[in-house]
Chains A and B, each alone.
Chain A
Amino acid sequence: MSHVSGGDMPGKPPLYCEREDWSDIVPIPQYDGVNPLAPIFYNPEYKDATDYFRGIVKTGELSPRVLELTEKIIRMNPAHYSAWQYRYRTLLAVKAPLDVELRLMDSLAIHFMKTYQVWHHRRLLLTLLTASPSTATTSKPLPDAFDIATSELEFIARVLEEDSKNYHTWSYREWILAHVDDARLWLGELPYVDDLLEADVRNNSAWHHRFFVVFSRGGKRSGASPVEEAEVLQREISFTKDKISLAPNNPSAWNYLRGLLDHTHTSWGKLVVFVLPYTQLQPTTHSSDEVVDLDNPKPPAEAELPCAAALDFLAEAYVREGGEGVQKAVTLWKSLANEHDTIRKKYWEYRIKEALASKLV
């Protein structure tokens, strides 16, 4: 809790109870009655600010000094949702310049990125700033929604440099892309995700975002021709194969592969040639005269094999073939249950039972 300072440091600003310009407000202390699991707390600065906040709420005042007070409280306790809510109402009431507010929020977002109010407040501001110009008060002429969103995406990227898997930050990025929904913004997302996966191929948030951009929300808006769609599919399969070859035991990449095949109704059987080497006990040795198959990169020599996700994938591909495939799948599931993924033994046994039962029908 290092961001909360005591009230007795030299050079501290005066408390609200010491300030002439706040003398018209009656501070209301925190309720201190019966209170199980909820003790009374002592920090002069925080107590002072929140006492005056309760005083302000009581009188219903919406004025510039409320912005100062709520900022102070938020900096001490960013999860104080009433302070956020009251701040937003005040911003609108006093027609505060929202671009200035957004810049103020930049530093708060980085400090308090795990607090969802920080992101929700931003979302409210952006909703106003990207709406028709008349709804937002700003300090200078407002750029168009595309420019605003572009600078937001750059800002979000800076925050993600601090924590590349932050859930609220990612949700906010996905929201703003869908909200502004500009083709130029969507185009920039793929190179961005490429960079993130280059830095950390196991970043599940980045894999999720890739799917969001290429197939789900971003994919829906493109109006691509069937040829273009086939190219995208090919590109994504190749990309994922490459990433799997870098880190074969990476569940995020395997999940992406499974997801994109099902989403595009592509047969899993097409991937069997690629997946097989990942199901072997030893990496396939590369002989010098062997033609390297660029379409199907092999696991690296140091890989831990076999890879449970590959065995799982292969079994799934086989069982979907039906017929002889079912028995092949059962053999793979048995190896998972008894040797390669024993922690999920019961799951694999369930798959075996279900597959054999449906085969009999």
Chain B
Amino acid sequence: MGAEPKLNIPLHVKYIQSLGENKDDLTYHLTAHLRMNAVYWGLTALYIMKNKDALDREEMIEYVMSCWDEQAGGFGAHPDHDAHIHATLSAIQILVMQDALDRVDVDRVTKFILSLQQPSGVFAGDAFGEIDTRFLYIAVQALSLLGRLHELDVEKTVGYIQRCRNFDGGFGAIIGAESHAAQVFVCTAALAILDRLDVIDQETLAWWLSERQLPNGGLNGRPEKLEDVCYSFWVLSALSILKKLNWIDADKLIKFILSAEDLEHGGIADRPGDQPDVFHTQFGVAGLSLLGYPGLEDIDPVYCLPAKITEAKGLRKDWEALPRRV
């Protein structure tokens, strides 16, 4: 890569470590509903940057367990928050990465997740009842990690995904909703876990995904929208699952992701010059990993977990990232 900009791993590690220390920051309290997710994003980014131990393991496990909602049988995003399927998956992913899944009451979590499936096949996020193909994917992945996929009504689940397919080949959040790259990722990854990729027109979908790349190298989520670093994961993961990752221009995308690095404070932003956050840091690093950027761990695009972890659990599906550069 010569004189090209480089991923500043030590700085990003420091940035993630510092996130828990900023006690006066208003934003943090307002994002309490995403706190468990933030821990998962931070830990995954550290793992991919080969700094898994930069955060204290015991402290993290204790935090996760403090978010357990005894009444519902799932995890909330923060202590005393109601159980939500998104926080529940993040908790499971964290515990899997920390090799502490034995702390979870698998029967109860399985019951909680299955209770959120609707007659149409989609899943709700919580008792409030919002539905979204994201929650469907979350349910499928969580059940898979817990070894309880056999308890899922697969036909009903796959049927809902099929009905979210749009005329342009993409998928939306609910039946009738516009195609969106993040929803394409969740639908494709859910089908991969269920070994049902046969139900989609893979070539048209991969074409739609490759069309997301803009002349500046970045990817957008829908036609005529702005590029954003987080799509580096949504688009690339789906293309990896379809084994068509080389349909985008990797060099240009790497350059775009690195241009969104905050080289003063650490972290990666949605696009150059913006404020970094742990979400875009994680998905920028994950995107770089799929593109074969040197010095990173492999990420599994189906589970958005380190590939070592899913391989060890025997969950690796048939996906292809770009070869690791040296």
Residues of A bordering B, CB below 8 Å = 1, 4, 28, 30-31, 33-43, 46, 54, 76-77, 79-82, 84-85, 88, 116-117, 120, 124, 165, 167, 170-171, 174-175, 178, 202-205, 208-209, 211-212, 215-217, 250-252, 255-256, 258-260, 262-263, 343-347, 350
Contacts and interface: CB of A to CB of B under 8 A. Distances in A.
B81 interface: yes
Interface residues of B, number: 70
A79 B33 contact: yes
Interface string B176-194: 1111100000000000000
Given A28-B80, A38-B20, A252-B223, A84 B176 contact: no
Nearest to B19: A37
Contacts of B247: 344, 346-347, 350
B21 interface: yes
Interface in B205-263: 206-207, 210-211, 213, 215, 217, 222-225, 244, 246-249, 252
A34 B39 contact: no
Interface string B14-50: 0010011111111111111111001100100000000
Contact of B223 (A77, A79, A255): A255
Contact of A167 (B23, B33, B129, B177): B177
B56 A36 contact: yes
B30 to A, nearest CB: 5
B176 A217 contact: yes
A34 B129 CA distance: 31
Contacts of A345: 249
A101 to B, nearest CB: 15
Contact of B26 (A43, A116, A165, A211): A43
A4 B35 contact: no
Contact of B246 (A79, A165, A202, A346): A346
A263 B28 CA distance: 47
Interface string B77-94: 011111010000000000
Contacts of A256: 167
B168 A37 contact: no
Interface string B109-122: 00000000000000
A84 B31 CA distance: 15
Given A42-B24, A117-B128, A124-B129, A175 B174 contact: yes
Contact of B35 (A38, A259, A347): A38
B8 interface: no
Given A28-B80, A216-B176, A343-B249, A80 B33 contact: yes
B119 to A, nearest CB: 15
